[in-house]
Every structure is written in structure tokens, then in C-alpha cells.
Amino acid sequence: MNKIDKLNKFIHVGMVSSYLQLIEGKGYGEIIEIQNKHKVKNVFFLPPVDVDTGDIQKCDIEAMIEHFIEREE
């Protein structure tokens, strides 16, 4: 796996982790367990505390949507 592939995987893991917390309501601990099970780094796109408090920027949500659109194509 080259540097670009590693970076893309890192970004994707963060996006999926934040999606699971934000949309599916999974707790921080649950997501860490999932990450550990899949042997990926513990990374989030959105800070978990911001998701819990609702302190999220519209541009962050737009970036997540764009990421998943690009992955789907």
C-alpha cells in the first residue's frame, strides 16, 4: 500500500467513525472497539465531543457528504 492509499484509508476510517457516531448513534467506546476489531487507527473526522454536544459546523457535514459521494463513484 503506497502513501496515497494509506492516507485515503486513514481519511475514510475517520469519516466512517464520525458517521457511526453522528448518524447511527454509536458511542465513542463502541467505535473504538470496531476500529480495534478491524485493526485500524483510532481516528475520527469530527471530534467525538463535538458530536456529543452538537457543536458541528455545516461545512464539516458537507465534507463528509462529499467524501461518501466520491467513494461511491
CB atoms within 10 A of CB 44: 23
Cα(71)–Cα(73) distance, integer angstroms: 6
Domain count, the chain: 1
Q: What is the predicted pLDDT for the residue at 34?
A: 96
- pTM for the predicted model, two decimal places: 0.89
Range of the domain at 43: 3-72
CB distance 56 to 21 below 8 Å: no
Q: What is the pLDDT of residues 27-71, one digit of tens each?
A: 999 999 999 999 999 999 999 999 988 899 999 999 999 999 999
In degrees, to the nearest 5, what angle opens at C-alpha 46 toward C-alphas 28 and 44? Answer: 55
